[in-house]
Structure 1
């Protein structure tokens, strides 16, 4: 069984707050758009964005949505900063517990990610001179084990996102991560393309470990321009590198055929990370959500 979810980041990069540019929607606008176009799940977004406790459960129920996952970045490779970050993970797990739908077959997956560093953020796509050494990998693996145990103690299964501008980004770093841990992988098509990987090959390479999928289409020319120009992730988002499914360089049909043919079961989270700009067509984001869901109906009615 595969279910299709959406994510607040497709409406705007909320982590940028007021510096994002255009108007960011509220939780009800996000949920109503997803519900109207046939999505059955939603990612958590910033902690508390969808509400807490009974308010969270009521909002999800009202729109017919279940929690699919939620990104939680922690400084896994920093031995001093990591212990201090664990309250953030604990709060996120509280929210997952509050929003958990007991009658829904698919549980949300707390989506762990590395926080990266200033150096990595200056080199999206990865850089051989800005990478973990053996000691760094040992530290990361130990700390991931601690976080994974916290997740499992709450009745959830963790997944790990290979994220741009972090120490687990390139195909080689993903290999090293999977060899060093027992945690499943969130395969993100757009971030893998940015890191020089091939999502179709990634399904074959890591299929047995993939327990969560973020699907986004991407324009390779924009991504290459950012990397060659030594830009950052804001340049990726503002440059509209991530586009509706079928309008970029992701081989959507080949990818979906491989995903389903490989027996994947779980959440398929549509992400089209964007920064709304002043003057953007106010209906554009809803149009994109309709396009993305309609493209996937060929595979997941």
Structure 2
């Protein structure tokens, strides 16, 4: 069974108060859009945006949404920064525990979504060639990922790892090595895999037994390549509109969904369309895109 969730990043909410001059919805407005369009879950977003404790659980219940996951990036190659980051991880896991307690065991479990935050000098997205990790750094990265995984499991949650453009785990080869050297499950993000030159449909066969979470997003490869070729940043990827509604980009949605269901995937499918709101933007555009995205999946997941 697949449950469909939305995410605050699809509304332009990457960090609290970060609107680039556009308008961000409040937490209830965001949740209401997802509920109206038939989503049953939501990612946590910036810690505190959806509330904490009773405020968090009441908001989720009011809109009929369950917590699906939540992004937690840590500096896995920097031992000196990791202890403080692990304390932040524990705080985020507190929010996961609050949501789980409020759901009373009735909802599909949320997956804390670990990711690498880079090491000071990040590679430009889509290039993957500058700089590269040496063997000592790889050992440090995988050791620290295992440490974070242990922390998550000790709190009663199963973690997942998100490969991401512009970080140390970006390319298909990076993902191969991560999965070889750790036992963490994989969040397969179709958009970020396209940016890294990978094939989302082929990824299902390549990593299928390790995929325990999916971020489904469509993307225009020409925009991604343009950003990569000019040495642009991940912010450029967002602001240039690389991520588009399902069926409007280069993702083989039919092939991917057919493969996902064919493998018997049982978990959260988080629809994302990373975007940056712009001044004067029509507020209805965001809900229109969510409607398009949800409608695109009704062929496979009617309700």
> Is the contact made by 1:162 and 1:174 (CA closer than 8 Å) also made in structure 2?
yes
> Is the contact made by 1:162 and 1:169 (CA closer than 8 Å) also made in structure 2?
yes
Task: Provide runs of 4+ in structure 1 moved above 6 Å.
Answer: none
Question: What are structure 1's unaligned runs of at least 5 residues?
Answer: none
| Map of 2:298 onto structure 1 | 297
Question: What are structure 2's unaligned runs of at least 5 residues?
Answer: none
Which of 141-150 and 165-174 deviates more? 141-150
Aligned length, in residue pairs: 300
| Map of 1:269 onto structure 2 | 270
Deviation, structure 1 residue 19: 5.2
> Is the contact made by 1:226 and 1:236 (CA closer than 8 Å) also made in structure 2?
yes
RMSD: 1.2
| Map of 2:20 onto structure 1 | 20
> Is the contact made by 2:16 and 2:46 (CA closer than 8 Å) also made in structure 1?
no
Q: Secondary structure at the match of 1:237?
A: helix
| Map of 1:90 onto structure 2 | 90
Normalised to the residue count of structure 1, the TM-score between the two structures is 0.97
Deviation, structure 1 residue 16: 7.4
Q: Secondary structure at the match of 2:95?
A: helix
Deviation, structure 1 residue 105: 4.5
Is the alpha carbon distance of 1:75 and 1:134 closer, same or farther for their aligned partners in structure 2, counting shifts above 3 Å? same
- List per-residue Cα deviations over 1:246-287 (Å, max 9, x = no partner): 000000010000001011110000000000111222110000
| Map of 1:112 onto structure 2 | 114
| Map of 1:235 onto structure 2 | 236
Q: Secondary structure at the match of 1:49?
A: coil
- List per-residue Cα deviations over 1:132-182 (Å, max 9, x = no partner): 111111111111111111111111100000011100000000001001100
| Map of 1:147 onto structure 2 | 148
> Is the contact made by 1:112 and 1:159 (CA closer than 8 Å) also made in structure 2?
yes
Q: Secondary structure at the match of 2:42?
A: strand
Is the alpha carbon distance of 1:99 and 1:166 closer, same or farther for their aligned partners in structure 2, counting shifts above 3 Å? same
Is the alpha carbon distance of 1:201 and 1:68 closer, same or farther for their aligned partners in structure 2, counting shifts above 3 Å? same
